[in-house]
Amino acid sequence: MSRGVSQRDPSSSDQTARMRITFRLEDVGCARAWVSDDGRTAELTATYVRDALGDLVLVTGWLVAGEQSQVRCSWAEEPGEYRWVLRRRGRDAQVRVLAFDGDGRREPDDAGRVVFETTTEVAVLGRAVESCARQVLDTYGSAGYLARWVEHPFPAEALERLHAALNPVHGPTRRRHGRR
C-alpha cells in the first residue's frame, strides 16, 4: 500500500480547502488515485475487490443530498484497505482517509492510520468527486472502464444522483413574460 501522509487540522474551518481527486485505472482490476487539498496530497491504491470509485460517488451523493451526515466507503487492497470517512457539519465536510494493513472491515476507525484529512465545503467535496468520475468516464468510456475494472461497471447512475444533489432544481427556472 502506498501511504502518503497528509493532514490538515479539521477544526480550522475559517478557510475551507479546495479539493482534487484523480483516479487512474492501471492494470486490470487495479487503480491508483490521488486526493489533494491546497498543496497536500495522498496517493492511494485500490483493487476491484470492492467498487472503489462507484462507492465513493454513491456515498458522496448521500452526503451532498443531506440523506446522511456521516458516510464511509472502503477501497480494498490485497492486503489492506483505505477507508474514506466523510462527515457533514452544516456546509462543511470533514474528509478522512484511513489506512489499514490487514482486512480493516472489522476494525474501528481509530485503528486506522490517517493518510489524508481535510475540511472543505460539502459542495467542494461533491464537485471534486463528480469531476473525478467524469474525467474517468471521458478517459475510458463505459466499456473501457468495465474492461479494465472488470467486476464493476462505471457508476453512471450514482454519478447522475450526485450531479442532481449538487444542482437542485427549485421550481421553474424561467418565467414566461406576459402570462401568469
All 3 cell numbers of residue 172? 421553474
What per-residue confidence (pLDDT) applies to 170? Answer: 67
- Res 123 pLDDT > 50: yes
- Res 3 pLDDT > 50: no
DSSP strand E in the chain: where?
A: 19-25, 30-37, 40-47, 70-76, 81-89, 92-100, 113-121
Contacts of 80 (CB under 8 A, 6+ apart): 1, 99, 100, 101, 102, 104
- Res 104 pLDDT > 70: no
Number of domains in the chain: 1
All 3 cell numbers of residue 140? 475510458
Average confidence (pLDDT) over 54-76: 97
- Res 161 pLDDT > 50: yes
Residue 80 lies in a domain: yes
Residue 180 lies in a domain: no
The pLDDT-based confidence of 6 (bands split at 50, 70, 90) is very low
Mean pLDDT of the chain: 88
Residue 117 lies in a domain: yes
- Res 39 pLDDT > 90: no
Residue 46 lies in a domain: yes
Domain hosting residue 121, numbered range: 19-163
Which has the closest alpha carbon to 85: 48, 74, 77, 76? 74
Residue 177 lies in a domain: no
CA distance 131 to 166: 12
What per-residue confidence (pLDDT) applies to 65? Answer: 97
Residue 178 lies in a domain: no
Query: Considering all CA atoms of the chain, what is the largest pairwise distance in Å, rounded to the nearest integer?
Result: 67
- Res 9 pLDDT > 50: no
- Res 95 pLDDT > 50: yes
| CATH number of the domain within which 105 lies | 3.30.2450
Residue 78 lies in a domain: yes
Residue 55 lies in a domain: yes
The pLDDT-based confidence of 99 (bands split at 50, 70, 90) is very high
